Amino acid sequence: MEASTEAARLPVKRNTWDRVRGYIGEYGLIALLLALPVVYGIQDISQDGSLARLGNNIVDGLSNGSIWALVALGYTLVYGIIELINFAHGEVFMIGSLVSAGLFSTLGLTASTGIGGLILGLLLTLVLAMLASGSLNTMIERVAYRPLRNAPKLAPLITAIGFSFILQNVGILWIGGSPEGIPDLIDAQKELFNIGGVSISRGDVLAIAATIPLVLLLTTFISQSRLGRAMRATAQDPEAARLMGINVDTTISLTFLIGGIMAGAAGLIYALYQTTIWFLQGFQAGLIAFTAAVMGGIGNLQGAVLGGLIIGIIQQISDNRIGGEWTPAIVFAYLVMIMVFRPSGLLGEETREAG
């Protein structure tokens, strides 16, 4: 008798929990995401009488987050199409930075280079860094993932980790094991303008201004071009896409090429913005960018960008208000909470499994 009463109660408990979870997932997440800015915004107004400090945190967060967003796009593109976490992607981004820094000295770009020469030099560096990272990513796919297309999912995951370590060691051989300062070509932290106490630096403008067109170009390419449609078709059902005459292997290679190109661009922006490069920067950035992709909804391009920007802002608010030593814990606490209440991420997954 007791057992049957218990059994009758259980579904009610689950429904209540589901309802609570759904409610929190819908509205609680918005409250959670706004908690830090709102709390510190109120504190700023009561203490300083303005929101300038919070504004500075958000601007810094958006510029940092833009770089994470570009890297996150590579993770989400690849996961969306072959459901593989390309662990080597962070290192492809690191190689983009190293190529960029190498080109600075090869092209003779210094802080005293004239504006014309600097723009031309940086554009050339951008193209070459994108090509280097794009072709590297494509090569990794050809060598380490394509032969394992029909292997158990664990196999390409291991080769991805393997390539990640190989590239880290390439980084060590290239620049050594310590963080290396490079010339501050654009005087990245120089204030360009100030809006109501919110300082916008050259680095902020560079990161945001370079990211927006790249993201728009990418989303337009994927939604409107023939190759982009092929990518989406392959992502939804590779077999059906093959039957419809799409060359699936070429499409997957193209996806890696585009992801690598974005990582190369992010590598150059990172080098200009931080003015320090390191062989481990890819591991750190990769971890953050992958978190951004999952937070936004893996496979979802807009989600990756949103996740990158949100993480950037959380990092800066935490660094500025709570203390840098707590920042990684706070970022991942956010990820855990978002995953618990919305397992498919903020904007929802776009993968074969998710439909």
Interface with another protein (CB under 8 A): 53, 56-57, 60, 64, 168-169, 172, 175-184, 189, 270, 273-276, 279-281, 284-285, 315-317, 319-321, 323-325, 327-328
Residue 149, burial from CB neighbour count under 10 angstroms (0-12, 13-18, 19+): middle
Count Cβ atoms below 10 Å from residue 11 Cβ, excluding itself.
9
- How do beta strands 191-195 and 180-181 pair? unpaired
Q: How far is the CB of 90 from another protein (least distance, A)?
A: 12
Q: Count the alpha carbons within 13 Å of 343 in the hemisphere toward its beta carbon.
A: 3
Pick between residue 236 and residue 320 the one whose CB is nearest to another protein. 320
CA quadruple 281, 101, 111, 272: dihedral positive or negative? negative
Q: How far is the CB of 169 from another protein (least distance, A)?
A: 7
Q: Confirm if 81 and 231 have CB atoms less than 8 A apart.
A: yes
Pick between residue 189 and residue 194 the one whose CB is nearest to another protein. 189
Pick between residue 15 and residue 50 the one whose CB is nearest to another protein. 50
Pick between residue 106 and residue 169 the one whose CB is nearest to another protein. 169
Q: How far is the CB of 92 from another protein (least distance, A)?
A: 17
Pick between residue 79 and residue 283 the one whose CB is nearest to another protein. 283
Q: Confirm if 25 and 341 have CB atoms less than 8 A apart.
A: yes
Pick between residue 17 and residue 165 the one whose CB is nearest to another protein. 165
- Which region, left, alpha or beta, applies to residue 351 given φ > 0 means left and ψ of -120 to 50 means alpha? beta
Distance CA 43, CA 36 (A): 11
Pick between residue 22 and residue 176 the one whose CB is nearest to another protein. 176
Between the alpha carbon of residue 109 and those of residues 141, 210, 336, the distances in Å are 33, 19, 43
Listed residue (44, 39, 130, 53) closest to 93, CA to CA:
130
Distance CA 30, CA 32 (A): 5
Q: How far is the CB of 103 from another protein (least distance, A)?
A: 17
Q: How far is the CB of 319 from another protein (least distance, A)?
A: 4
Q: How far is the CB of 65 from another protein (least distance, A)?
A: 11
Q: How far is the CB of 338 from another protein (least distance, A)?
A: 21
Distance CA 265, CA 207 (A): 10
